[in-house]
Amino acid sequence: MSSVAPLRITANAAPNACVLIAEGVLDASTYRTLRDTVVKSALDRPAGVVVDVTRLAAPSPSAWAVFTSARWHVSTWPDVPITLVCEHERGRLVLQRNGITRYVPAYADLASAVAALDRPRGSVRRRARTAIPRPLGRAEARRFVADSLHAWGSDDMSPAAATVAWLLVDNVLEHTLGDPILIVEEIGGVITIAVEDASSSPAVRRESTEGGTDVVAGLAIVNSLSRTWGSAPTSTGKTVWAILGPENRL
């Protein structure tokens, strides 16, 4: 008998939302799979993510924290709301008692969970996405960012944003074998540069104990050029992102 608890995740589409149906057992062996799938769905930029947990069992109540963990990973960017559906009251009470609904609300039906995702939108969010072929790499990353920001009338942010894109893509090319996916977003004058890759190792800015110089020089520069940056695990690897505001212009 297998020691790995079964977990089945089915993705369905709803207007402006991604609906995930999770069935089976949530425990230490399936926790990361579920978390990373929810994070990946949020990073794909729907208006929100709904997870139906009606037929999901957690032998340990603490395992339900998978949803607060997923929400934390996307809370700064892209700040996509996550809601839960549990058709039985017993399950919703367990979620409430364990503090999950403070950050990820739970509803009795799908319609209510999807409706709860609606929230006032301010500035229009613009988004461009492309695969960066390894032979073109850094130059293609800079060109794609410059062209995207020019089309959106944000040329003043191009030098800093293109440099960040170059550094993040360079990091992927140096440490992984696949072609990175580059994402550029603009909303209200704030730019986000994000790069997806197939490595599950998180991007970490390290400092040497000898002299305090940065070993990962690229991420040190990203840190200095951006308002904030982070790394989110996904079901296919990770996404490293950086947010630049007007104060980061070069």
pLDDT at residue 111, rounded to an integer: 93
HSE toward the beta carbon, residue 113, CA cutoff 13 A: 28
The CATH superfamily assigned to 126-248 is Histidine kinase-like ATPase, C-terminal domain (3.30.565.10)
Judge whether 138 and 170 are in contact, CB under 8 Å. yes
The CA distance from 81 to 48, in Å, is 5
Q: H helices of 116-245, where?
A: 137-151, 158-175, 217-225
Helix (H) or strand (E) holding 194: strand 190-197
Q: Using the CB atoms, write b or e for 193-204: b if 16+ within 10 Å.
A: bbbbbeeeeebe
Residue found by looking up tokens 């997806």 in the block: 196
Q: Give the predicted TM-score (pTM) of the model.
A: 0.84
Residue 203 · residue 192 · CB < 8 Å: no
CA distance linking residue 38 with residue 67, whole number of Å = 8
Provide the pLDDT for residue 189: 92
Domain boundaries, the chain: 7-115, 126-248
pLDDT score, position 205: 64
Q: How many helices (H) and strands (E) does the chain have?
A: 7, 11
Report d(CA 89, CA 75) in Å as an integer: 27
**Fold of the domain spanning 7-115:** Transcription Regulator spoIIAA (3.30.750)
pLDDT of residue 107: 98
Task: Walk along the chain (250 residues) and give the pLDDT tens digit of each residue.
Answer: 444 458 999 998 877 789 999 999 999 999 999 999 999 999 987 789 999 999 999 999 999 999 999 999 999 999 889 999 999 999 999 999 999 999 999 999 999 999 998 766 556 789 999 999 988 888 999 999 999 999 999 999 999 999 999 999 998 888 888 889 999 999 989 999 999 999 888 776 665 555 554 444 788 999 999 999 999 999 999 999 999 999 999 8
